Amino acid sequence: MSLDNATTTLVVNPTAGRGKALRILPRVMSEFVKGLPEGSLQVLQATSFDDAQRLCQATVAAAQARPGRHDSLVVMGGDGMMHLGLNACGGTEVPLGMIPAGTGNDICRGVGLPLDAVAAARIIVDGTTKAVDLAFVVGKLARGATQRYVGSVVATGYDASVSWRGTQMSVRWGALTYAAAALAELRRFEPRRYRLRIDGVERDLPAMLVAVANGAYYGGGMQIAPTASITDGNLDVTIVHPVSRFTLIRLLGRMFDGSFVTDPAIETLKAKEVVIDGDGLLGMADGEALGDVPLGVTCQAGALTVFAPNQDPLTKRRRKKK
């Protein structure tokens, strides 16, 4: 896809990565100016979550009003900004560019993007796009929403409690933040009672967590769903059955390479539709509060057009393990 003679709108969270986004913004802009001499670049700095959401939605609406021009939305920041971008572009033909500049960057990992912001900008300038899946969540969601796209993982149980605690910390360090929150939450966490419906099959069980994944990563690089593909039209479900606190910590450490799935306490499966309900559960997704259960999650195949290498990142992960 050529972006020449088109408008590329870059929406930035200047506070992402403790100010990293603002520091590297000039270099990112330079890549667009050099690579797209015939294109138009518009840079917008968001002042808040709501402002960023408004800017993303307005950009997509303007692009849809000019069909054939290949106008695009690019978001720069952490997973929260990627979440806003994919919710603005999801279900439309407007392509989304993602430039990681946060502390977690799990959505970009899942798409197979480099975590260097300048390198990610070069991929957008190159113009290669592909269609990827999104998880589609319905329920009584945060901020008065009733439906939302998710790029990475719908987390409930222990992982959601850890993610929520991490968002409340005044200083964040990516995976180290998750580790600190995990240790703090471990002292009081007990297995939750889940009521699930997975592709129509009812299940009632206790579990430490049930994660419903579109992409492989959350928590700053943890592979909660090592076999997840963003192009296979499936959700990946990971269930951690009740274990001791010591075992849970051991499993968390093994999530970074995905080897935890060999433990007898782990159950993994693929599904098209999952309904999550239960006692004391909070939904988190893409680093943001999602809402209370029940939550219905389906896979929306090819719902998002994204600037990215054509190769499925699952293939890269398999090659690394050989």
Query: From first to last of its 322 residues, what are the pLDDT tens digits of the chain?
Result: 666 678 999 999 998 877 888 999 999 999 999 998 888 999 999 999 999 999 999 999 999 998 878 899 999 999 999 999 999 999 999 999 999 998 889 999 999 999 999 999 999 999 999 999 999 999 999 989 999 999 999 999 988 888 777 666 655 555 566 667 777 777 778 899 999 999 999 999 999 999 999 999 998 899 999 999 999 999 999 999 999 989 998 998 899 999 999 999 999 999 999 999 998 899 999 989 999 999 999 999 999 999 998 777 776 666 666 5
pLDDT of 5 reads: 74
Q: Are 102 and 126 in contact (CB under 8 A)?
A: no
pLDDT of 172 reads: 57
* Alpha carbon distance 10, 285 (integer Å): 23
Can you read off the two tokens belonging to residue 1? 């896809």
pLDDT of 180 reads: 73
In sequence order, the 6+-apart residues with CB closer than 8 A to the CB of 315 are: none
pLDDT of 182 reads: 72
Q: Are 278 and 99 in contact (CB under 8 A)?
A: no
Which of 3.40.50.2300, 3.30.70.3270, 3.10.180.10, 3.40.50.10330 would CATH assign to domain 7-127?
A: 3.40.50.10330
In sequence order, the 6+-apart residues with CB closer than 8 A to the CB of 318 are: none
Residue showing tokens 């159950």: 267
Strands (E), the chain: 7-12, 40-45, 72-77, 96-100, 129-141, 147-150, 153-155, 192-198, 201-207, 209-213, 217-218, 222-223, 235-240, 266-271, 273-278, 282-285, 288-307
In sequence order, the 6+-apart residues with CB closer than 8 A to the CB of 81 are: 11, 12, 13, 16, 46, 52, 75, 102
Does domain 135-301 fall under CATH 2.60.40.10? My reply is no
Task: Tell me which amino acid residue 191 is.
Answer: P
In sequence order, the 6+-apart residues with CB closer than 8 A to the CB of 115 are: 100, 105, 108, 109
Closest C-alpha to 211, from 163, 168, 144, 264: 163
Please, is 264 exposed, middle or buried when counting C-beta atoms within 10 Å of its C-beta (0-12, 13-18, 19+)?
exposed
pLDDT of 101 reads: 94
Q: What are the sequence ranges of the domains in the chain?
A: 7-127, 135-301
